[in-house]
Amino acid sequence: MRLDRYYSEIKKRYGIVTRARGPFLYTQKNVRLTDLCQEGGRAILGWDAAAYTVFKNILSKGLAGSFETAHFGRLQKAASDLFQSPRKIFLFSSKKAAMEAALLLDANSASVYKPFNGVDYSAVKNVVYAPPLPWTNNFWILAARDFGQETAQKGAALSGQESVPISGESFPPALLAAAARATYDLIAALKARQEKEFFIYDKVLTKFFERRACWLRPKIPQEKYDDFLLACLDAGVVVNPDYNSDSLVPYGADNGVLKKMGEINV
């Protein structure tokens, strides 16, 4: 289902979303929706993430320009801590551009990061990841390891310059600071969130999804998926409208919020 139509269906039933907290969306008609979409994982830390406060505080200092600040270095340190190895970061406005750069550096060791999937990303030389910030769909980070002379020469080809390695794009300091905080919050979540806190929703969710850690892959036939989306909305649950993208468990919510969803027959 197209995203605009899906949002239209939410509005038709419940009005616009007026507030969001944790794994919940609160609507104009005073209905609380349980969010399993979570912006495809960008809101995996919840809709009231601490990074929002960091963003606001940096803006209050007037740091909204393209000038150099300390926040790029802090984000680079956060990426190094996330992947448990020294990293050099490059910023891009699209996943495609970031992945093309990663493959250029080393086509044999490049990957898109997905938290909680059991992969040791410290062994991957070039990792593309989306910071867990819901409003940043056009913000991607390439965290490159082993950025030596040979790699720099490959990076020069990408940038079209002879002496300069990969040239990423520029983003406002407030966004860099918020992304750094979100990355550290994700590191904490990776340690705190356990399988036992994911499988409590299985009684309902595994009827419709294959679950791996917090990630939910539809096992409903694709031709029935639009009907399933609408039935979930009627049950007060928002799932990912893209059949080929994962939904997520509503971490932190009482599993009773999925009771009506469990009554769906597709």
pLDDT in tens, the chain (266 residues): 888 899 999 999 999 999 999 999 999 999 999 999 999 999 999 998 899 999 999 989 888 777 788 999 999 999 999 999 999 999 999 999 999 999 999 999 999 999 999 999 999 999 999 999 988 889 999 999 976 555 555 555 554 444 345 668 889 999 999 999 999 999 999 999 999 999 999 999 999 999 999 999 999 999 999 999 999 999 999 999 999 999 999 999 998 999 999 999 98
- In degrees, rounded to 5, the angle at the alpha carbon of residue 204 between the alpha carbons of residues 203 and 208 is 120
Q: What does the pLDDT read at residue 219?
A: 96
**What is the structure's pLDDT at 115?**
96
User: What is the reported pTM?
Assistant: 0.89
For residues 150 and 61, give the distance between their C-alpha atoms in angstroms, rounded to a whole number: 40
- H or E segment at 79? helix 71-82
* Neighbour tally for 68: CB within 10 Å: 10
DSSP state string for 208-264: TEEEETTEEEE-S-GGGHHHHHHHHHHTTEE--S-TTS-EE--TTS-GGGGTTGGG-
pLDDT at 204: 97
Q: Which two tokens stand for residue 228?
A: 């399933």
CB contact at 8 A, 80 and 67: no
Q: Which residues contact 233 (CB under 8 A, 6 or more apart)?
A: 9, 10, 13, 33
At residue 167, the pLDDT reads 67
Q: What is the pLDDT of residue 164?
A: 40
